[in-house]
Structure 1
Amino acid sequence: MAQRITIDPITRIEGHLRVDVEVDGGQITKAWSSGQMYRGLENILKGRDPRDAWLFTQRICGVCTTVHALASVRAVENALGLEIPLNAQLVRNMVQAIHCLHDHIVHFYALSALDWVDVVSALDADPVATAKLADSLSDWHGNSPKRFAAVKDKVKALVASGQLGPFANAYWGHSAMKLPPEANLMAVSHYLEALDYQRKATQALGIIGGKNPHIQNLSVGGVTTNLNPENQTAVTMERLYYIKQLITEVRDFVKMVYVTDVVAVGALYKDWLPYGAGVTNYLAAPDMFLDARGTKADLPGGTIFGGDLGSVKPIVGLADPYFKENVEESIARAWYDGDWSKHPWESTTDPKFTDFEDEGRYSWLKAPRFQGKPMQVGPLAQMVVGYAQGHELTVKSVNAVLGRISAVAGVKVGPEILHSTIGRHAARAVRAGMMADLALKHWDLLINNISSGDYEIFNPPTFPKGEQRGVGVHEAPRGILSHWIVIQDGKIKNYQCVVPSTWNAGPRDAEGQLGPYEASLMGNPIADPERPLEVLRTIHSFDPCIACAVHMLDPEGREVMKVKAL
């Protein structure tokens, strides 16, 4: 007999997500993904100046701040046909890359590693043996017996105090935890180091963005980052070189620690490689643009259907009609007024709540579709799309990680293992390494362009009478993000955000097609229905950001809800 499990809320994510599953015979047979907050920001933007939208939209989330700012200014620029200076493009690229480094490190260590790492088990580890294991994987300077012994003592003190702090409320001792004590101790040590390296990324972003979170250096038409080396109020060469130093330090951590830890998890949990594929239609945006017009990119975009790499079709540039014309949102199973599937320029966001209905409406998330199909987005989508196109950096980076997993696991694995829960983690680690390399590349491009005497950072926008429509597309850490704007006589007439976590976490549509979260859970094992760790593993692998997907704001400042920390 099937057993119903409800996890509400899913923790270690941004926002409030409810997941329901039915388990029969130790496997998940049905799944529902439900966003539990209402999005109202689109309605708040109506009638406002389009140049102000980016300041509002980056308040959607306290983590995904820069991404909404970038997508928003691009949407207005696309509507106006406005080209930004090359310096502005390169500064934006650095903002994007540094933000990604911070975000990917936070995701693995703070938000998902504890699904695989048994912290309490680390108490049984031998620090010398742990150092030997770590040295076999990389020559990171923090991998010493002295360091691991100190971390073991710290964990021991936490356990003895009964106050586990960030390690509390996890499924320690769960039968699905497979790492040996030494691997757990190594991972806990790296978890603590990750806190410092994500800080370094945040510091670099604060310098170039003027503030973090919620950067302040964007504007429709470019950036406000003064790059004149002769002006002491500008971002001086000294500051730019400090940014480079911070990026370099973070890159070393990503390549020598983060990627290595993901390789270890993937290899030691090789029994999990068949699980979590779900939707194998992939959608990714091109980004890290090399020209002012946004037509040449260092990161490829495109689509793949049915997991067939031969079906890849590129998305080229910021204004590619292949993307613009094929996106729709369905509200057939969402708590909104109507029963339609519409292009975002025609969409509305009018709430109409009912109870949670298994066969009816059960989520505040809309269900985006591309050519009528659900699409998985995120680092895995971009890695698969790039790999299929033969993108040199992607192919080199993916093959390197697959080779390392094969060596540790003792079993040769190929790109097919990427269609999985573990594959999403591997793809994100690969992308983090690529973004670190690209951050430094675009730093060099910016310095070279400034050195040529080009200090231009802004082209002023003008708003003609009549209607203009635009879309701002950005490959955010969690996947393709698009902001859709309709401008009428210089004011916002309609504004819709189609975000990564609506693509992935959205509900069924009118045809009954499951969203990627829901599909990825089907067939997954459940060892203990009272402690459904396996559900968390797969959901966390997407890096959910439900604050981006749905959010609630009371413009009168009244209390909406109370949250008590126990």
Structure 2
Amino acid sequence: MKIDPTTRIEGHHGMELEVEDGQITEARSTMKMFRGAEIITVGRSPRDAAQLTGKVCGVCFICHRIGSSRATEDAAINAGAFDGIPEHAKILRDAVEGIFFLWNHAIHLFALVGPDYSDAVADTGFERLDPLEGEGYQGALENQRKLMQALAEFGGRAPHPLAFVPGGVATNPDVSTVQTVKSRLREVSNWLGPTDAVPEVLENVRNGEFDPELGEGLHDVVSILVAAAREGAADLGSGPNRYYSNGLFREPESDERIFKRGVYRDGSAELMTKDEIVEAISEHTEYSYYTDDSGGPPTEAKPPDPDPNKEGAYSWGKAPRFEGQTMEVGPLARLTISGYDPFDLRANLGGGSDESNTLNRLIARAQEVLIVRDRVLDLLDAFDPSEPLMADFPDDYTGKGVGLWEPSRGTLSHYVDVENGEIERYQIITPTLWNIGPRDGEGNPSIIEGAIVGDEVADIENPINVMRTVRSFDPCLACSVHVDSPEGSYETELKPASPGGMTDVGDD
């Protein structure tokens, strides 16, 4: 059977499944568009890379700008042409990424995965989760709008802010701006509710009770988890319990991070340096529509070179591996590596705090919302808008750089080679490639391809559990494949707006 599209917003991912006696025996994850962003950057100034790659995705708009900026900054540092960005630029970048986390998690939990557990879709009794009409759904949309407004205060606009560039943050916020952002966040925080209310809210939801004083948003988020548990999500989408994170949220004036950098495998976490991580990563293209020399270590491989007629290929995504192994990335990875399981929710509901399954991915995302909410407010308290936010950045240098970053969906890496002030080579590895890419050169399936094998398909006409597992990874296909140019011609007419919105302006 084929399911295409699998996502509610972006429609260029599909699953091809072999089903025998109601059980999935083989799966292939397909991505339907060619990757082009890396090629576009070649020959341009490294300053342009953040502007270009930041538009890879209209959802993950901040993380690519920051990841790209970090890569070009790293190249300049390695060339001896740059000393690094100011401390308060680092704090502001982290704070803004935290606001983005909250925005993206709200979109994911309520608009992308929440409907799968709503009364309208699955007869769960949770009418507040019903898409468009549910009060919980509507409340989440209102609060994600406030978060987008907060992002625009620092970035100039959202999506696709202009302020995050190589050299720091090109903006001049004042105390009033910071207070406006804090005010927005407090409104969202009040909607969400206090962290320590989770046990009481969990009991309320199980008993069909609703106490808005403990947070309307918290009740709705917990409702998703309770519904998923009742629907058997802990027994779906089982992964290998291997995780990878680039780490995020530095302590000011320190290299310590709230979310740790490293991997988790064989039952324990291994914290790693940047160099150790860079050395461990390679990409495979045997089942991708790219030439073989488009794969290999991303520090050496050339930008993706299309081979659309390649025999055996089935995806425009590549297959990243960490020391030859698949790794799951995202909230569950971050929390497992860092040793966080607030209120033991994953241990008690999901079969174990480090267990990879559909339910635990949802639980970890909900837990992370509360952790990040508190962290962002701390970062904004530490941020001083009177401190420098930009450092002089060179135009002409030769060097190689890697920008490791950690968006909400998981690990992101940008790689750049600069020769005499021009980009010579560029590579991007996105979170979605780690989770739902194709097989590698040994024929080993990706995380998602392995996770749904063995799951039951009770109704071929409505394979809702397959969809629940796919969506639990929060796939972002625009980050992973970029360009679609079908044959055909296009014509449109643009009419300039009149002053004041008037459609007819007289001679006077």
* TM-score between both structures, scaled by the size of structure 2: 0.85
What corresponds to 1:242 in structure 2? 180
Residue by residue, what CA displacement relative to the aligned partner does 1:287-339 show, whole Å, maximum 9, x if unpaired? 122346x7332322210124x1x2x11134xxx21111111110010001126
Q: Could you say if the C-alpha distance between residues 559 and 68 of structure 1 is closer, same or farther in structure 2, counting changes exceeding 3 Å?
A: farther
Matched, 1:443 2:369: no
State the SS of the aligned residue for 2:381. helix
State the SS of the aligned residue for 1:469. strand
Amino acid paired to 1:66: I
What corresponds to 1:490 in structure 2? 421
**Deviation at residue 413 of structure 1 after TM alignment:** 5.7
Higher mean displacement: 478-487 or 253-262: 253-262
**Deviation at residue 414 of structure 1 after TM alignment:** 5.7
Matched, 1:221 2:167: yes
What corresponds to 1:267 in structure 2? 226
Q: Which aligned pairs between 1:266-415 and structure 2 lie closer than 5 A?
A: 266-270=225-229, 271-291=232-252, 295-306=255-266, 308=267, 310=268, 312-316=269-273, 320-338=274-292, 341-348=295-302, 349-354=304-309, 360-387=312-339, 394-395=340-341, 398-399=342-343, 401-402=345-346, 415=352
For the 8 Å contact 1:259–1:430, the answer to whether it is kept is no
What corresponds to 2:210 in structure 1? none
Higher mean displacement: 469-478 or 339-348: 339-348
What corresponds to 2:156 in structure 1? 210
Residue by residue, what CA displacement relative to the aligned partner does 1:38-73 show, whole Å, maximum 9, x if unpaired? 011111110100011100001101111001001000
Matched, 1:537 2:468: yes
CA RMSD in angstroms comes to: 2.5
Q: Which aligned pairs between 1:72-87 and structure 2 lie closer than 5 A?
A: 72-81=68-77, 82-87=83-88
What corresponds to 2:211 in structure 1? none
State the SS of the aligned residue for 1:458. coil
Residue by residue, what CA displacement relative to the aligned partner does 1:360-418 show, whole Å, maximum 9, x if unpaired? 2100000000101111111111011111xxxxxx34xx235458xx5xxxxx6663474
For the 8 Å contact 1:418–1:424, the answer to whether it is kept is no
Q: Could you say if the C-alpha distance between residues 257 and 429 of structure 1 is closer, same or farther in structure 2, counting changes exceeding 3 Å?
A: farther
For the 8 Å contact 2:56–2:478, the answer to whether it is kept is yes
Q: Could you say if the C-alpha distance between residues 354 and 555 of structure 1 is closer, same or farther in structure 2, counting changes exceeding 3 Å?
A: closer
Residues in 2 aligned to 1:549 and 1:380: alpha-carbon distance in whole angstroms: 20
For the 8 Å contact 2:452–2:466, the answer to whether it is kept is yes
State the SS of the aligned residue for 1:32. strand
Amino acid paired to 2:76: L
Residues in 1 aligned to 2:272 and 2:264: alpha-carbon distance in whole angstroms: 11
State the SS of the aligned residue for 1:195. helix
What corresponds to 1:428 in structure 2? 365
**Deviation at residue 438 of structure 1 after TM alignment:** 1.0
Q: Which aligned pairs between 1:407-556 and structure 2 lie closer than 5 A?
A: 415-416=352-353, 418-447=355-384, 450=385, 455-462=387-394, 465=397, 467-552=398-483
Amino acid paired to 2:305: D
Q: Which aligned pairs between 1:550-565 and structure 2 lie closer than 5 A?
A: 550-552=481-483
State the aligned residue count: 461
For the 8 Å contact 1:51–1:220, the answer to whether it is kept is yes
**Deviation at residue 477 of structure 1 after TM alignment:** 1.0
Residues in 2 aligned to 1:419 and 1:183: alpha-carbon distance in whole angstroms: 28
Residues in 1 aligned to 2:2 and 2:171: alpha-carbon distance in whole angstroms: 48
For the 8 Å contact 1:285–1:300, the answer to whether it is kept is yes
Q: Percent identity?
A: 34
What corresponds to 2:49 in structure 1? 53
State the SS of the aligned residue for 2:406. strand
Runs (5+) with no aligned partner, structure 1: 120-171, 227-234, 388-393, 407-411, 561-566
**Deviation at residue 180 of structure 1 after TM alignment:** 2.9
* TM-score between both structures, scaled by the size of structure 1: 0.77
For the 8 Å contact 1:302–1:385, the answer to whether it is kept is yes
For the 8 Å contact 2:130–2:137, the answer to whether it is kept is no
Q: Which aligned pairs between 1:139-218 and structure 2 lie closer than 5 A?
A: 172=121, 177=122, 179-180=124-125, 188-218=134-164
Q: Could you say if the C-alpha distance between residues 47 and 252 of structure 1 is closer, same or farther in structure 2, counting changes exceeding 3 Å?
A: same
Residues in 2 aligned to 1:431 and 1:274: alpha-carbon distance in whole angstroms: 22
Amino acid paired to 1:190: G
Runs (5+) with no aligned partner, structure 2: 78-82, 194-214, 492-508
Q: Which aligned pairs between 1:109-124 and structure 2 lie closer than 5 A?
A: 109-119=110-120
Q: Could you say if the C-alpha distance between residues 481 and 224 of structure 1 is closer, same or farther in structure 2, counting changes exceeding 3 Å?
A: same
What corresponds to 2:80 in structure 1? none
Residue by residue, what CA displacement relative to the aligned partner does 1:443-464 show, whole Å, maximum 9, x if unpaired? 00004xx5xxx52111112256
Residues in 2 aligned to 1:555 and 1:471: alpha-carbon distance in whole angstroms: 33
Q: Could you say if the C-alpha distance between residues 12 and 413 of structure 1 is closer, same or farther in structure 2, counting changes exceeding 3 Å?
A: closer
